[in-house]
Amino acid sequence: MILIVNVPISFSSLKKDLGRAIETDQLSLYYQPQIDMKHRYIVGIEGLVRWNHPNYGLIPPSSFIPMAEENGLIVQLGLWVMREGCRANHRFAARGLPPLFISINISPNQLNSPAFLEDLYRVIQETGVDPQFLELEITESMELERVDQVSRKLREVRNLGIRIAIDDFGAGLSNYHRMHQLPIDRLKLDRSLIRNIHTDDNQRFIVSAIILLANRRGIDVIAEGVEHAEQEKVLLELGCSVAQGFYYGQPMTCSQWEQYYSHHLGL
Ligand code: C2E
Ligand code: CA
Ligand code: CA
Ligand code: CA
ipTM computed for the complex: 0.97
Is 90 exceeded by the pLDDT of residue 197?
yes
Q: Which residues contact 152 (CB under 8 A, 6 or more apart)?
A: none
Distance in Å from the first CA to the final CA of the chain? 46
Q: How much distance in Å is there from the Cα of 62 to the middle of ligand 4?
A: 9
SS3 at position 141: coil
With a 6 A CB cut-off, is 69 part of the ligand 1 pocket? no
Instruction: For CA atoms 222, 78, 62, 177, give the dihedral sign.
Output: negative
**What is the rounded CA–CA span in Å between residue 171 and residue 98?**
34
With a 6 A CB cut-off, is 49 part of the ligand 1 pocket? yes
Res 1: pLDDT: 47
Is 60 exceeded by the pLDDT of residue 5?
no
SS3 at position 104: strand
Q: What is the pLDDT of residues 100-142, one digit of tens each?
A: 999 999 999 999 999 999 999 999 999 999 999 999 999 876 5
SS3 at position 117: helix
Give the model's confidence band at 78: pLDDT under 50 very low, under 70 low, under 90 confident, else very high.
very high
Paired strand residues for 52: 58
Q: Which of the residue ranges 32-46, 96-110, 138-152, 212-226 would you say has the lowest mean pLDDT?
A: 138-152
Is 90 exceeded by the pLDDT of residue 13?
no
Res 147: pLDDT: 85
In sequence order, which ranges of the chain are alpha helices (DSSP H)?
11-23, 61-71, 74-94, 108-112, 116-127, 147-159, 175-181, 191-194, 201-216, 229-237, 254-265
Report the amino acid identity of residue 97: L
The average confidence (pLDDT) of the chain is 92
Give the model's confidence band at 188: pLDDT under 50 very low, under 70 low, under 90 confident, else very high.
very high
**What is the rounded CA–CA span in Å between residue 110 and residue 150?**
11
Res 26: pLDDT: 96
Cβ burial 61-91 (10 Å sphere, 16+ → b, else e): bebbbebbbeeebbbbbbbbbbbbbbbbbee
Report the amino acid identity of residue 225: G
Q: Which of the residue ranges 14-28, 88-102, 152-166 would you say has the lowest mean pLDDT?
A: 14-28
Ligand nearest to the CA of 190: 3
Q: What is the pLDDT of residues 161-184, one digit of tens each?
A: 999 999 999 887 556 777 888 999
Is 90 exceeded by the pLDDT of residue 202?
yes
Predicted TM-score (pTM) of the model is 0.94
Q: Please state the atom number of ligand 1 nearest to the C-alpha of residue 137.
A: 2
Ligand nearest to the CA of 245: 1
Orientation of helix 74-94 relative to helix 116-127, angle to 10°: 20
Ligand nearest to the CA of 169: 3
**What is the rounded CA–CA span in Å between residue 165 and residue 105?**
9
Q: How much distance in Å is there from the Cα of 250 to the middle of ligand 3?
A: 14
With a 6 A CB cut-off, is 81 part of the ligand 1 pocket? yes
With a 6 A CB cut-off, is 167 part of the ligand 1 pocket? yes
Q: Among residues 239, 212, 201, which one has the least CA distance to residue 223?
A: 239
How far are the Cα atoms of 42, 143, 221 from residue 106, in angstroms, in the given order?
22, 15, 18
Is 60 exceeded by the pLDDT of residue 144?
no
Q: What percent of the chain has pLDDT over 90?
A: 82
Q: H/E element holding 166?
A: strand 163-169
**What is the rounded CA–CA span in Å between residue 113 and residue 130?**
24
